[in-house]
Chain A
Amino acid sequence: MASPAPSHTRHEHDERFQTESDRLIAPGHDFASVTDSISKIVLQRRTPLGWWLGFAAAFGVMQLLLYAIAHLLFVGIGVWGVTIPIGWGFDIINFVWWIGIGHAGTLISAILLLLRQEWRTSINRFAEAMTLFAVACAGFYPIFHTGRPWVAFYWLMPYPNTMGLWPNFRSPLIWDVFAVTTYATVSAMFWFVGLIPDLATLRDRAQSKPWKIVYGMLAMGWRGSAKHWHNYETAYLLLAGLATPLVVSVHTVVSFDFATGIVPGWHATIFPPYFVAGAIYAGFAMVLTLSIPLRKFYGLEDFITMKHLENMAKVMLATGLIVAYGYMCEAFFAWYSGNPYEKYMIVNRMTGPYALSYWALILCNVIAPNLLWSKRLRTSVPFLFFISFVVSIGMWLERFVIIVTSLHRDFLPSSWGLYAGTQFDWAAFIGTIGMFLTLMFLFVRFLPAISIFEMRTLVPAAEMPEEEHQ
């Protein structure tokens, strides 16, 4: 695409940075080579054995989820560890965790697009896919954590029903329903629109007729004419604009589930910003977790360069610090408010039955990311891969601490209790991971994991108008 602004910034790149770790694309690529090397992943005749193995494993794990859910429906919520007073456990922990992961995608595609951050181009596509799949995983829980999912899924919806009743619009759970569904819809559209030109490319390059038809239908008659490109650009930007506020809103609303409650440890104004930060934090960690093996396996080092990884590490460092600040605030409020319940809550977090999870959380989310100050570590692929895992675990622990340690000892000592996930909790959790990976595998197999047309804009030869190269 021939928008002057990017070409300008690109010049600066070419002038200032020469070192390997600063390139957004390896030298020596032209349009053809880019298109080839990305599309061949999808169009190659034989599916690599590695893919089959990985897919089989993921698919197997996904069966756990089906089992867990089926058992839950037949027997009841009691198969989980939840009790009175700890009414929420793994269900909501996992929900928040997945939603959080689902943030990086839209952030990268929308916000970085608007900010003209070109390094996004090679990672946005599968970051968006990741978002969708993560949201799908998250979507499980709000329905299945209820005692009666068979009515919950439509009683939560506002429609003129025979009971003459509306849902309770004061309840954050209702806000969740809207926030999450909107987010899911918009990111799905955003993702699909982004795919259209590449689907066209695949249509044109696919050998077998069936695939031509499939990709053809999905490409919706894209011909890449100047008119197409023009409309496309506008639509894409509009969608980006539409998606941007959502990145912030979704997790803000999710944080309201807690912030609006009166439970000590939930009832804090800091929640929205520090949930959003945490979400982006977790999101980028997951993008790293996925992109590192991906570039290795499909030899995409040329496109997902060190610079990408390093930038993501930097974002993690920044958001990690914000999260750390959030923890500090919680402790500070508890002390400064002089509220006995708050005070007891924080002391209980640090020294009570769940102290271990609290300190593990501090280690994962506060101590660990600070290692990213060092350029050496930031640019070491194995370390990044490792740290991305640590952060994911840390963010899961954060939700565990917020939900469980706040609920298990709230106001009346007479009704204090303890919580532990049962194997059905774990099955559901691991199962969703399986589902997530399954979808991921299918995605990289049948769709271009990296945006071809956008990558082509990074090729030096992209100085001249796009159309000629169609």
Chain B
Amino acid sequence: MSQIFHHSTNTIARVSIFGTVFGIAGGLWLMLELNRSSYVTDVGVAKEQPVPFSHAHHVGGMGVDCRYCHTAVETSAQAGIPPTKTCMNCHAQIWSQSPTLEPVRSSLRSGQSIEWVKVNDLPDFVYFNHSAHVNKGVACVTCHGRVDRMPLMWQHASLQMEWCLDCHRQPEKYVRPKAEVFNVAWEPPSDWVANGKGRELVKQYGIKPRTSCSTCHR
């Protein structure tokens, strides 16, 4: 009986058995990694904007308060994107001729809104409420990162559900004194965790983060 296969094929046959198992496992692992990668989440990807507005300059450089532009953040679900008028409050005087600001001026002239590209974009079936968070000692930077260091805005957190749940399940890790909510530079003191300051605040502010689905999905 003539040999069809070379002797080595036996080994290949054996290897293939394990190969398939590991292959599948590896594929799945890759999928999970991909799902959390910035390719999917866009974390850290700076977005082109019609006007290259720099938080680094306005917040970091000139120390403009978040609420000067995002007026609704304490009272509404949305933080609110400033109307063109707000920009012109200053830029009617400063840089009033700068070509980069032309879109702003023309917007005011024509009454056509500036179309900003959304950076932190939650799916439409997620109902996030800014006021509920900033009023309970969750800082802007906790979710949006150090905007004062972002020349162009990019997404800081994955905004994936596991990320939301992480804080909702153990808020003490993230809350800070209400006074510091809009302070981008505030860092918890070294002994913060050690003497359970977080827990105190959670008790003091009556923080009961809900994990019921209807908290965010309706």
Contacts and interface: CB of A to CB of B under 8 A. Distances in A.
Are A and B in contact, CB atoms below 8 Å, in the complex?
yes
Contacts of A220: 13
B4 A162 contact: no
B32 A212 contact: no
B37 to A, nearest CB: 11
B89 interface: no
A412 interface: no
A163 interface: yes
Interface string A202-228: 011000010011001100110000000
Interface of B: 1, 4-5, 9-10, 13, 28, 32, 35-36, 158, 160-162, 165
B13 A221 contact: yes
Contacts of A27: none
Nearest to A164: B162
Contact of B161 (A165, A209, A216, A221): A165
Interface residues of A, number: 16
A212 B35 contact: no
29 contacts: A159-B28, A159-B32, A160-B32, A161-B35, A161-B162, A162-B35, A162-B36, A162-B158, A162-B160, A162-B161, A162-B162, A163-B160, A163-B161, A163-B162, A164-B162, A164-B165, A165-B161, A203-B4, A204-B1, A209-B4, A213-B4, A213-B5, A216-B5, A217-B5, A217-B13, A220-B13, A221-B5, A221-B10, A221-B13
B172 to A, nearest CB: 19
Contacts of B13: 217, 220-221
Given A164-B161, A213-B4, A221-B13, 18 more contacts: A159-B28, A159-B32, A160-B32, A161-B32, A161-B35, A161-B162, A162-B35, A162-B161, A162-B162, A163-B160, A163-B161, A163-B162, A204-B1, A209-B4, A212-B4, A217-B13, A220-B13, A221-B5
A163 B10 CA distance: 44
Contacts of B36: 162
Contacts of B9: 221
When A and B form their complex, which 8 residue pairs have the shortest distance between CB atoms, in order from nearest? A164-B162, A163-B161, A162-B160, A216-B4, A164-B165, A221-B10, A220-B13, A212-B4
B62 to A, nearest CB: 37
A161 B28 CA distance: 11
A151 to B, nearest CB: 13
A449 to B, nearest CB: 24
Interface in A149-168: 159-165
Most buried by B among A164, A165, A209: A164
A216 B6 CA distance: 11
B132 to A, nearest CB: 20
Nearest to A212: B4
A235 to B, nearest CB: 13
A272 to B, nearest CB: 32
A307 B177 CA distance: 85
Nearest to A206: B4
Contacts of B165: 164
A213 B32 CA distance: 38
Contacts of B161: 162-165
Nearest to B165: A164
